[in-house]
């Protein structure tokens, strides 16, 4: 079917390397001359003050999160330019919920959820390189809680990929192959 939008939804705890991996996947697809777009879901609702429910409902009836409205708006531009592949990243603690708001924004989407996993040692090392300042300790604790919670949840329908001891280029190739996006 021509109208299908193929989405790779890269998830995992904060600091595991989702953004870096998305850039690497994008570089691989660009090298293969495969059209795609990349959206970091954190940016879809980075607004202050948060919109009230009635404001969102006025813009798009039934919508309770600005992320879905913004995703639909951004995707409409990429779609008009002829794109049918989208790479998204975010922590995504609740994949079934996240699938719903993404499908509300892009109803014709087929979503492959990729869950990156890593040991607490790896997460601690990666966050030490990324986080600086007074919030570093709190971020580490949040990340470890996220990783533990994700490890305990049902993984049915998720493409789970171990990120320990693997660089972004290797992970990108593995994911593109496993998701059926490799040319």
Residues 15-58: tens digit of each pLDDT: 999 999 999 999 999 999 999 999 999 999 999 999 998 999 99
**pTM metric for this prediction:** 0.91
In sequence order, what are the residues at sequence separation of 6 or more whose Cβ sits closer than 8 angstroms to the Cβ of residue 157? 95, 113
**pLDDT, tens digit, 9 for 90 and up, residues 144-154:** 999 999 998 88
| Fold (CATH) for 5-178 | Rossmann fold (3.40.50)
Instruction: Tell me the two tokens of residue 107.
Output: 């109803």
Quote helix, strand, coil % in the chain, to nearest 5: 50, 15, 35
pLDDT for the residue 88: 98
Alpha carbon distance 15, 8 (integer Å): 18
Alpha carbon distance 149, 86 (integer Å): 27
| pLDDT range class, residue 120, cuts 50, 70, 90 | very high
Bridge partners (DSSP) of residue 112 are 8
Of the spans 62-66, 100-104, 153-157, which averages the highest pLDDT? 100-104
Alpha carbon distance 125, 123 (integer Å): 5
Q: HSE-up of 86 (CA within 13 Å, CB side)? A: 30
pLDDT for the residue 92: 92
pLDDT for the residue 131: 76
Exposed e or buried b for every residue in 4-32, given b needs 16+ CB within 10 A? ebbbbbbbbbbbbbbbbbbebbbebbeee
Alpha carbon distance 26, 176 (integer Å): 10
Beta strands per DSSP E along 77-137: 85-89, 109-117
Using CB atoms within 10 Å of the CB of residue 72, give its burial: 0 to 12 exposed, 13 to 18 middle, 19+ buried.
Answer: middle
């Amino acid at each position: 079917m021509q109208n299908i939008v193929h989405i790779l939804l890269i998830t995992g705890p904060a600091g595991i390397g989702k953004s870096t991996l998305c850039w690497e996947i994008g570089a691989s697809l660009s090298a293969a001359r495969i059209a795609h777009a990349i959206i970091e879901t954190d940016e879809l609702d980075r607004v202050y003050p948060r919109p009230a429910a009635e404001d969102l409902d006025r813009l798009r009836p039934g919508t309770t999160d600005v992320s879905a409205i913004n995703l639909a708006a951004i995707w409409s531009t990429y779609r008009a330019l002829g794109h049918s592949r989208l790479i998204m990243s975010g922590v995504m603690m609740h994949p079934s919920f996240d699938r719903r708001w993404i499908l509300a924004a892009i109803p014709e989407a087929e979503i492959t959820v990729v869950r990156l996993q890593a040991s607490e040692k790896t997460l601690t090392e990666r966050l030490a390189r990324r986080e600086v300042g007074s919030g570093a300790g709190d971020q580490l604790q949040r990340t470890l809680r996220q990783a533990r919670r994700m490890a305990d949840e049902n993984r049915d329908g998720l493409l789970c990929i171990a990120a320990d001891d693997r660089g972004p280029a290797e992970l990108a190739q593995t994911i593109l192959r496993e998701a059926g996006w490799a040319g």
